[in-house]
Amino acid sequence: MPIYEYECASCGGIFEAIVDIGGAPSKCPACGSRECKKLIGAPAVHVKVDHATARIEKRVKDYLKDGKVSDAVRFADKAASMVKSDRVKRVADRLHERSGK
Ligand SMILES: [Zn+2]
C-alpha cells in the first residue's frame, strides 16, 4: 500500500500514513483532526529528515540546559555531517559562535 504524506490543517503537523487507494483521509496523530491535506509528490524522505532535525535540536537544547556547551557542539557537528540539513548546519554554526570556537 502506498504511503502518503499529509499536512494537518489544524496544527500544521506533517505526518505519513498508509492509505488504501481511494481510502478516507487520515487523522492527524498529533491533534486528531481530520482536516488533512494530502501532499502530492513530496518525497517521504523529507519528513524523516524533519523528524531527525527536531530530535537533534531537542538534544542540543538538553545539552545546553545542562551547561554542556562543548558536548552540544560535538553532537551538532556530528549530526550536521550525518543529516544533510541546512537547519542542523545552522544549529552547529550558532553553537560554534556561542562557544567561541
Ligand atoms: Zn493536527
Same domain, 11 and 33: yes
Model confidence, pTM: 0.49
Distance of alpha carbon 70 from alpha carbon 32, whole angstroms? 40
Written as tens digits, the pLDDT of the chain (101 aa) is: 567 788 888 898 888 887 666 666 678 888 998 888 887 654 555 556 677 888 888 999 999 999 999 999 999 999 988 887 788 888 899 889 887 75
Same domain, 36 and 62: no
CATH number at residue 19: 2.20.28
Same domain, 18 and 31: yes
**By residue range, what is the domain housing residue 15?**
3-42
**Residue located via cell numbers 560554534:** 96
Looking at the 3D structure of the chain, how many domains does it have?
Answer: 2
Which regions of 2-96 does DSSP assign to beta strands (E)? 3-8, 14-18, 36-39
* CA 97 to ligand 1 center in whole angstroms: 36
Same domain, 76 and 37: no
Same domain, 20 and 51: no
* CA 38 to ligand 1 center in whole angstroms: 13
* CA 69 to ligand 1 center in whole angstroms: 34
